[in-house]
A and B are shown apart, each in its own frame.
Chain A
């Protein structure tokens, strides 16, 4: 089906993260290959966003190893992740309300000409970029505060598409989107995969997951609860792994049986 390279772009080995008394992540394993879409699912509070933030350098990990293209790396700051080629759309968007759309898209990597902001070029590229996402925004020069929730989300997604990320992480990117925009984002995820980018997609919407993901990794209470192949696993099995109706071993057996029957 999809050609997947041997060494994963990103591999997490036994990653743990604690916030005070809350053990948010315990020994989490995850692998993402180039040209692969991995959906990360789990109940509210399962630790999905926390996992994303450890990869993005927002919360450095306490224990475990992060491997990037086979080599162990330290990701201690957002900058480290960006330099590796990781682009992230956060669940809480992380945009600056007082700055306009163009300014937010290019925040932290402004285009410059002779050391001065090249506003004209940034504006031109922003319009081009937003139009490919068929985002309707009144103007690229209005502050983010004046956009609707869905428009902000599309701006945050567009932001992650600038530059050349090798891995794009989308934390519930379609949560606030309308039908047309959701379809656009799913198309976008597919195009990213076709071009050989690795994608981690977090979503509570099983239909979306089934539509674009190759693998589904389930988190439950901060631990792995199985990795499933989307093509050969039924939705019920994934849901029971999310809710904990099945423990790890049973889930795996069910998955195997499912495969055998096909």
Chain B
């Protein structure tokens, strides 16, 4: 990849070589297409653009946020214990396992592919840790790292078979689903369940809370400040070179909105046991993956493959490498999720990674707003989606409603989401924004 920062595009050189015609060039930069709906400056312009986006089907996370509010309102009206700090805090910790797996699924969905093996791989990670640490007495950290690497390797194998040999991802990962489930049962051995040290590293992943109230508020303050400063300085850089920038009022509105949410969540956690370690790790992973996808050339390549494989190939992108690495990422997050799930029950057992886990992880990514058609989505979608799914689980459990109904409701929500996705895509096509 040649990343030559100094060589000017030849056209620019051509342009300023013969005629020295800055007027014309400047003119065409500023001459905007009169048909283009230019956003007015200031807040009213921002609202106007927002309305237009809604009409064009550019819904983003709006449906899922609305859905979440409705779900919470319904459960709260059924049982006033739902929106308590204790329940919300428990939901937040319980969602991390599935949420981590869903982060990996977002990467795969961005390629326009699927990974059916993540449930089984998550089970393998938990079992690997248990066998290495409990049965063989390996140090916790080493066992943890090896468990995560096992997931990464499994994902890389799936990705390589898919990318290099050209077997459909559906088939490769379906084989992976069976293989890794068998592998887990094999290493767990005859007695089936291995209990983890309840005071150990993995158990702490979901049982540790930063009980000092300063932790929650501090994290919220840092997040808000970081958001504001990065937006502000990004804007300054844009203004300095004369490319369009956001109005300051917009940055302030966004920052205030973030601050309200961040501090509300911090207050909620602090009313209960404090800031959960699991949530901190999840947020760090979300920020990191979002950064990778949207700010690095690796992320750009992942999106490009989701848009057009052939165009990416012709742009010199190593398609096999990107695909393999995305599946390795998916396997890694499946393993991390598996460790959180094992942590929650402080054991590795034969049922790990089976049942509805796989479906929930995929549903979370999709419900959160990641497109099944590839090339559209963010890892934050995983957070919103998993919040919806685990809220439904906990809400129904509070009502004493058994899992059959729970599956049916989650299924309904998923269907609604994919319908929205498909309709959005259609509307976006007619509005020219697909």
Binding site for B on A (CB under 8 A): 56, 58, 77-79, 82-83, 88, 90, 93-99, 103, 107-113, 115-118, 120-121, 123-125, 127-129, 131-139, 141-143, 145-147, 158, 161-165, 188, 191-192, 194-195, 197
- Contact between chains at B36 and A98 (CB < 8 Å): no
Interface centre among B9, B241, B314, B316, by most A CB within 10 Å?
Answer: B314
- Contact between chains at A191 and B18 (CB < 8 Å): yes
In the assembled complex, the CB of A150 is this many whole angstroms from the nearest CB of chain B, namely 13
**What's the Cα separation between A154 and B269 when bound, in Å?**
54
- Contact between chains at B25 and A107 (CB < 8 Å): no
- Contact between chains at A163 and B2 (CB < 8 Å): yes
**What's the Cα separation between A164 and B36 when bound, in Å?**
33
Q: Please, could you name 28 A-B residue pairs with CB atoms under 8 Å apart, sorted by A?
A: A56-B314, A78-B315, A96-B304, A96-B307, A96-B312, A97-B308, A98-B434, A103-B300, A108-B316, A110-B3, A111-B3, A116-B296, A117-B296, A120-B238, A125-B9, A128-B9, A128-B12, A128-B25, A129-B11, A131-B26, A131-B28, A132-B11, A132-B12, A136-B28, A137-B33, A145-B432, A161-B9, A163-B9
Interface centre among B14, B234, B313, by most A CB within 10 Å?
Answer: B14
* B190 interface residue per 8 A CB criterion: no
16 additional contacts, CB 8 Å, given A77-B316, A124-B241?
A78-B313, A95-B308, A96-B312, A98-B303, A107-B300, A108-B301, A109-B3, A109-B316, A125-B12, A128-B12, A129-B9, A138-B33, A139-B36, A143-B433, A161-B10, A195-B14
Within 285-321 of B, Cβ neighbours of A (below 8 Å) are at 295-297, 300-301, 303-304, 306-308, 310-318
What B residues does A96 contact at CB under 8 A? 303-304, 307-308, 311-312, 375
Binding site for A on B (CB under 8 A): 1-5, 7-15, 17-18, 24-26, 28-29, 31-33, 35-36, 234, 237-238, 241-244, 295-297, 300-301, 303-304, 306-308, 310-318, 374-376, 428-429, 431-434
- Contact between chains at A120 and B241 (CB < 8 Å): yes
What A residues does B36 contact at CB under 8 A? 138-139
What A residues does B432 contact at CB under 8 A? 145-147
- Contact between chains at A165 and B2 (CB < 8 Å): no
In the assembled complex, the CB of A89 is this many whole angstroms from the nearest CB of chain B, namely 11
Nearest-neighbor residue (CB-CB) of A53 within chain B: B314
What B residues does A111 contact at CB under 8 A? 3, 5
- Contact between chains at B314 and A134 (CB < 8 Å): no
**What's the Cα separation between A197 and B304 when bound, in Å?**
29
What A residues does B242 contact at CB under 8 A? 124
- Contact between chains at B433 and A146 (CB < 8 Å): yes
- Contact between chains at B4 and A163 (CB < 8 Å): yes
B7 contact from A99, A123, A164, Cβ within 8 A: A164
Nearest-neighbor residue (CB-CB) of B306 within chain A: A98
B434 contact from A77, A97, A112, A124, Cβ within 8 A: A97
What B residues does A138 contact at CB under 8 A? 32-33, 35-36
- Contact between chains at A132 and B316 (CB < 8 Å): no
The list of the 8 closest CB pairs from A to B, nearest first, reads A96-B307, A108-B315, A98-B375, A146-B432, A132-B15, A98-B307, A138-B36, A94-B311
- Contact between chains at A161 and B11 (CB < 8 Å): yes
In the assembled complex, the CB of A231 is this many whole angstroms from the nearest CB of chain B, namely 23
In the assembled complex, the CB of B258 is this many whole angstroms from the nearest CB of chain A, namely 21
Contacts known (A137-B33, A165-B10); A124 close to B243, Cβ less than 8 A? yes
What B residues does A97 contact at CB under 8 A? 307-308, 375, 434
What A residues does B12 contact at CB under 8 A? 125, 128-129, 132
- Contact between chains at A158 and B33 (CB < 8 Å): no
In the assembled complex, the CB of A59 is this many whole angstroms from the nearest CB of chain B, namely 11
In the assembled complex, the CB of B158 is this many whole angstroms from the nearest CB of chain A, namely 24
**What's the Cα separation between A111 and B374 when bound, in Å?**
24
What A residues does B316 contact at CB under 8 A? 77-79, 82, 108-109
- Contact between chains at A136 and B308 (CB < 8 Å): no
Nearest-neighbor residue (CB-CB) of B239 within chain A: A120
- Contact between chains at B315 and A107 (CB < 8 Å): yes
- Contact between chains at B300 and A99 (CB < 8 Å): yes
